[in-house]
Amino acid sequence: MDLEQALDHARRVGLTDQEMAAAVGQAAADLQARQRAVGVTLTHPDLPGQPITVPEDVVAGHEDSGWVRYVDGDTQPELEPPPALVDVELPEPEKQTAEEA
């Protein structure tokens, strides 16, 4: 079942948006608790939104390569936007005069 199907089903059985949000929040909290039980969650500034969970004994090696411990409520650091693929200024279009039209 994908997200859209799950939301449709929840609406058909009468769940409100608040109840669905609470269920998602609880599922996320449960997942974080399970991850903490098996290891340490780390994030990397170059990989926003992609935390990993590793055993405690390998955390130091990951920290040496830029990973940091994730703390509940942390947000990913603000990243600079990627550079433009092409940095060219285009000339402004020439305006037609009434005589040319």
Rounded to two decimals, the pTM is 0.40
pLDDT band at 12 (very low <50, low <70, confident <90, very high): very high
Span 70-80, average pLDDT: 55
Q: How far is CA 7 from CA 1, 28, 77, 90, in A?
A: 10, 16, 31, 46
Q: What is the mean pLDDT of the chain?
A: 78
Span 41-66, average pLDDT: 88
The pLDDT score that the predictor gives to residue 48 is 82
Say how far apart CA 37 and CA 40 lie, in whole Å. Answer: 8
The pLDDT score that the predictor gives to residue 94 is 75
pLDDT band at 85 (very low <50, low <70, confident <90, very high): low
Under 8 Å between Cβ of 51 and 74: no
Say how far apart CA 13 and CA 6 lie, in whole Å. Answer: 11
